[in-house]
A and B are shown apart, each in its own frame.
Chain A
Amino acid sequence: MSGTVLPARAGRSAPPALVIAALVWITMILLIAVFADQLRPFGITALDLKARLLPPLGFGGTAQHLLGTDELGRDVLSRLIVSIRISLVIAFGATAIAAVLGTTLGFLAAHFRGWVEQVVLMLIDFQASMPFLILALAVLAFFGNSLPLFVTLMGLYGWERHARIARGLAIAANAQGYAAAIRQLGARPSRIYLRHVLPNIAATLIVAATLSFPEVVLLESGLSFLGLGVQPPMTSLGNMVGYGREYLTRAPWILLAPSAVIVLTTLCVSLLGDWLRDRLDPTLS
Chain B
Amino acid sequence: MIPLLSLDGVSRIYRQRRGLLGRGVPLRAVDDISLSVAPGLTLGVVGESGCGKSTTGRLALGLETPDSGRVTFRGAVMPPPDGAEWRSQRRHLQLVPQDPLGALDRRLTVAAQIAEPLLIHGIGNRGEREDRLAALLNDVGLRADQAARYPHELSGGQRQRAVLARALATSPALLVCDEPVSALDVSIQAQVINMLTDLQAARGIAMIFISHDLKVVRQVSHEVAVMYLGRVVEQGDPDAIFADPLHPYARALVSAIPVPGPRRLPRIVLSGDPPNPADRPAGCAFHPRCSLATAQCRVEEPGLIARADGRRVACHRADELARASA
Binding site for B on A (CB under 8 A): 176-178, 180-188, 191, 196, 199-200, 280-283
Residues in chain B near residue A200, CB distance under 8 A = 105-107
Contact of A186 among B90, B105, B108, B150 (CB under 8 A): B90
Cα separation A256 to B63 with both chains bound (whole Å)? 62
Smallest Cβ distance from A135 to chain B, in angstroms?
34
Contact check, A187 vs B102: say whether CB atoms are below 8 A apart. Answer: no
Q: Which residue of chain A has its CB nearest to the CB of B121? A: A186
Q: List 30 A-B contacts (CB under 8 A).
A: A176-B102, A178-B105, A181-B97, A181-B103, A181-B104, A182-B116, A184-B61, A184-B63, A184-B94, A184-B95, A185-B90, A185-B116, A185-B117, A185-B120, A185-B166, A186-B86, A186-B89, A186-B117, A186-B120, A186-B121, A188-B87, A191-B120, A196-B105, A200-B106, A281-B107, A282-B106, A282-B150, A283-B106, A283-B150, A283-B152
Residues in B14-56 with C-beta less than 8 Å from chain A: none
Smallest Cβ distance from B326 to chain A, in angstroms?
46
Residues in chain B near residue A185, CB distance under 8 A = 90, 94, 116-117, 120, 166
- Kindly name the residue among B61, B82, B95, B106 whose own CB sees the greatest number of chain A CB atoms within 10 A: B106
Contact check, A282 vs B116: say whether CB atoms are below 8 A apart. Answer: no
Cα separation A176 to B152 with both chains bound (whole Å)? 17
Cα separation A257 to B298 with both chains bound (whole Å)? 86
State whether the Cβ of B161 lies closer than 8 Å to any Cβ in chain A: no
Interface residue count for B (Cβ, 8 Å)? 26
Given contacts A191-B120, A282-B150, A283-B150, contact A184 B105 (CB under 8 A): no
Q: Which residue of chain B has its CB nearest to the CB of A203? A: B107
Residues in chain B near residue A283, CB distance under 8 A = 106, 150, 152
Cα separation A280 to B150 with both chains bound (whole Å)? 13
Residues in chain A near residue B107, CB distance under 8 A = 199-200, 280-282
Cα separation A218 to B177 with both chains bound (whole Å)? 55
Q: Which residue of chain B has its CB nearest to the CB of A202? A: B107
Cα separation A188 to B120 with both chains bound (whole Å)? 8
Residues in chain A near residue B108, CB distance under 8 A = 196
Given contacts A180-B103, A184-B61, A187-B87, 18 further A-B contacts (CB under 8 A): A178-B106, A181-B104, A183-B82, A184-B63, A184-B90, A185-B90, A185-B94, A185-B117, A186-B87, A186-B89, A186-B90, A186-B91, A187-B116, A196-B108, A200-B107, A280-B107, A282-B150, A283-B106
Residues in B183-214 with C-beta less than 8 Å from chain A: none
Residues in B162-186 with C-beta less than 8 Å from chain A: 166
Q: Which residue of chain B has its CB nearest to the CB of A177? A: B102
Cα separation A196 to B113 with both chains bound (whole Å)? 10
Residues in chain A near residue B150, CB distance under 8 A = 282-283
State whether the Cβ of B296 lies closer than 8 Å to any Cβ in chain A: no
Could you mark each residue 84-102 of chain B with 1 if its beta carbon is under 8 Å from any beta carbon of chain A, else 0?
Answer: 0011111100110100001
Residues in chain A near residue B90, CB distance under 8 A = 184-186
Residues in chain B near residue A280, CB distance under 8 A = 107
Cα separation A183 to B105 with both chains bound (whole Å)? 12
Cα separation A199 to B112 with both chains bound (whole Å)? 14
Cα separation A178 to B104 with both chains bound (whole Å)? 5
Smallest Cβ distance from A244 to chain B, in angstroms?
46
Residues in chain B near residue A199, CB distance under 8 A = 105, 107
Contact check, B121 vs A182: say whether CB atoms are below 8 A apart. Answer: no
Contact check, B120 vs A178: say whether CB atoms are below 8 A apart. Answer: no
Residues in chain A near residue B87, CB distance under 8 A = 186-188
Residues in chain B near residue A181, CB distance under 8 A = 95, 97, 103-104
Cα separation A177 to B101 with both chains bound (whole Å)? 8
- Kindly name the residue among A182, A196, A280 whose own CB sees the greatest number of chain B CB atoms within 10 A: A182
Smallest Cβ distance from A207 to chain B, in angstroms?
16
Q: Which residue of chain B has its CB nearest to the CB of A281? A: B107
- 6 closest Cβ pairs, A-B complex: A186-B90, A181-B103, A177-B102, A178-B105, A186-B87, A282-B150
Smallest Cβ distance from B123 to chain A, in angstroms?
11
Smallest Cβ distance from A170 to chain B, in angstroms?
14
Cα separation A188 to B83 with both chains bound (whole Å)? 9
Cα separation A151 to B116 with both chains bound (whole Å)? 40
Residues in B103-156 with C-beta less than 8 Å from chain A: 103-108, 116-117, 120-121, 150, 152
Q: Which residue of chain B has its CB nearest to the CB of A181? A: B103
Smallest Cβ distance from B310 to chain A, in angstroms?
34
Residues in chain A near residue B116, CB distance under 8 A = 182, 185, 187
Residues in chain B near residue A177, CB distance under 8 A = 102-103
Residues in chain B near residue A182, CB distance under 8 A = 105, 116
Smallest Cβ distance from B103 to chain A, in angstroms?
4
